[in-house]
Amino acid sequence: MKIGYLGAGTWGSALTALLASQGHQVKVWDRNTDLIHHLKTSRTHPKLSGFKASENVIYCENIEDAIEDADLLVESVTSSGIRPVLQKVHEMKTDKMCPIIITSKGIEQKTGLLFPEVALEVLGKENKHLIGIISGPSHAEEVIHQLPTSVVASSFDPELMKTIVKVFTSPDFRVYPNADIYGVAFGGAFKNIIAIACGISDGLGYGINTKAALMTRGLHEMRKLCTAKKAIPETLNGLSGLGDLIVTCSSTLSRNYRFGRLVAEGLSLEEAKEKIGMIVEGVYTTVSGYELGKKYGIPIPITEAAYKVLYEGFPSSNAVKALLQRTIKEEHL
């Protein structure tokens, strides 16, 4: 297939390598022209050790060149950038729209829309059958080294879901189909908030008991709120929920986890982001999650605590203590 890839960050580059290894021709665009120039000339990625671009990969400075004759589009842009990128795609391919696969994880601020909902709004209901998604526990640093990885694919259309599974599955990258596109999208987005909370906990010197509590109760928050987004709670027991939660809350490869640790160590939000040196999607999604909880009147105390620490200057240690001092209720699963 001819694949247009939008986004050349570490995750986008890992999936680009995966697709190219399957024999597909991949044209890659990124708004960072310096990064595109580096990739084009060196065929290596400055933030992804072990990456070497295949001959099947072509780097494009203009988005038009990447998507013009594509049979399939894949995006890996930032949460704040997904809407304008989708708008550009719609403008260019109105008469010859092809399937587009979302791999970014987040919830749009102010609208509270999951990314498949953003795509549906931008591309129109007539193109609903062309929208798909991939999510799950998958660090780029491990995918690029072909370490065994399992993820989930979903779509509004069963046939496109089968296509995604076929296109992305490799001997080391296993793709499971799941028809609950909103559940798959929600789990991948919301776990980043809980990962920041776990990073804060570890940064304060708390133990694995505390982290286990945050992850378990965080999953409970996810299950409560996901129903407001028309998602199936049981989906979050799978790879795109629990699986991704384990990876993101436990690994130092996780930007969200590392960001939380830096905040707990005394760095400001901006200082921590600068030290990470790459986009930390959980910082954006913490606002979205907090807004969703308020909108639907659903208590999500861990998310609320993370929001207060990041955006209201609430001390990290006080936030953890406040969570432990909440009124005890019977555990409901």
pLDDT of 327 strictly over 90:
no
Q: Give the pair of three-digit tokens for residue 75.
A: 């995006």
Mark whether 105 and 195 lie in a shared domain: no
Residue 330 in any domain: the answer is no
Mark whether 293 and 208 lie in a shared domain: yes
Q: Rounded to the nearest 5°, which phi and psi values hold at 116? A: -65, -30
Mark whether 265 and 191 lie in a shared domain: yes
Residue 333 in any domain: the answer is no
Q: Give the pair of three-digit tokens for residue 181.
A: 């596109």
pLDDT of 332 strictly over 80:
no
Residue 73 bridge partners (DSSP): 4, 100
Of 161, 179, 197, the position where a domain reaches its end is 179
Mark whether 172 and 231 lie in a shared domain: no
Of the candidates 102, 143, 138, 98, which has an alpha carbon nearest to the alpha carbon of residue 1?
A: 98
Question: Tokens 């999650």, residue?
Answer: 289
User: Who wins on pLDDT, 125 or 326?
Assistant: 125
Percent of the chain with pLDDT over 90: 94
Of 163, 179, 195, the position where a domain reaches its end is 179
pLDDT of 330 strictly over 90:
no
Mean pLDDT of 270-283: 96
Mark whether 102 and 20 lie in a shared domain: yes
Mark whether 114 and 214 lie in a shared domain: no
Mark whether 175 and 29 lie in a shared domain: yes
Q: Would you name the residues annotated as active-site residues? A: 191
Mark whether 204 and 96 lie in a shared domain: no
Taking the C-alpha atoms of residue 20 and residue 277, their distance in angstroms, rounded to an integer, is: 27
Residue 129 in any domain: the answer is yes
Residue 310 in any domain: the answer is yes
List the CATH number of the domain containing 285: 1.10.1040.10
Mean pLDDT of 261-280: 96
Mark whether 24 and 163 lie in a shared domain: yes
* pLDDT the model gives residue 324: 75
Residue 331 in any domain: the answer is no
**pLDDT tens column, 91-139:** 998 778 999 999 999 999 999 999 999 999 999 999 999 999 999 999 9
Residue 285 in any domain: the answer is yes
**Count of CB atoms situated within 10 Å of the CB of 109:** 17
Range of the domain at 10: 2-179
What confidence tier does 333 reach under pLDDT thresholds 50, 70, 90? low
Residue 6 in any domain: the answer is yes
Mark whether 166 and 194 lie in a shared domain: no
Taking the C-alpha atoms of residue 172 and residue 297, their distance in angstroms, rounded to an integer, is: 42
Mean pLDDT of 160-180: 98
Residue 49 in any domain: the answer is yes
Mark whether 243 and 302 lie in a shared domain: yes
Mean pLDDT of 253-275: 96
Of the candidates 68, 78, 74, 89, which has an alpha carbon nearest to the alpha carbon of residue 31?
A: 78
Task: Give the count of domains, the chain.
Answer: 2
pLDDT of 249 strictly over 80:
yes
Mark whether 320 and 206 lie in a shared domain: yes
Give the DSSP letter of residue 27.
E
Query: What are the angstrom distances between the C-alpha of 195 and each of 16, 19, 88, 146, 245?
Result: 26, 28, 32, 24, 7
Label residues 149-181 b or e (16+ Cβ within 10 Å = b): bebbbbbbbeebbebbbebbbeeebbbeebebb
Of 128, 154, 179, the position where a domain reaches its end is 179
Taking the C-alpha atoms of residue 272 and residue 270, their distance in angstroms, rounded to an integer, is: 5
Average pLDDT, the chain: 95
Mean pLDDT of 62-87: 96
Strand ranges (E), 34-190: 57-60, 72-75, 100-102, 131-135, 149-155, 173-177
Taking the C-alpha atoms of residue 256 and residue 128, their distance in angstroms, rounded to an integer, is: 31
Q: Give the pair of three-digit tokens for residue 297.
A: 């009147």
What confidence tier does 148 reach under pLDDT thresholds 50, 70, 90? very high
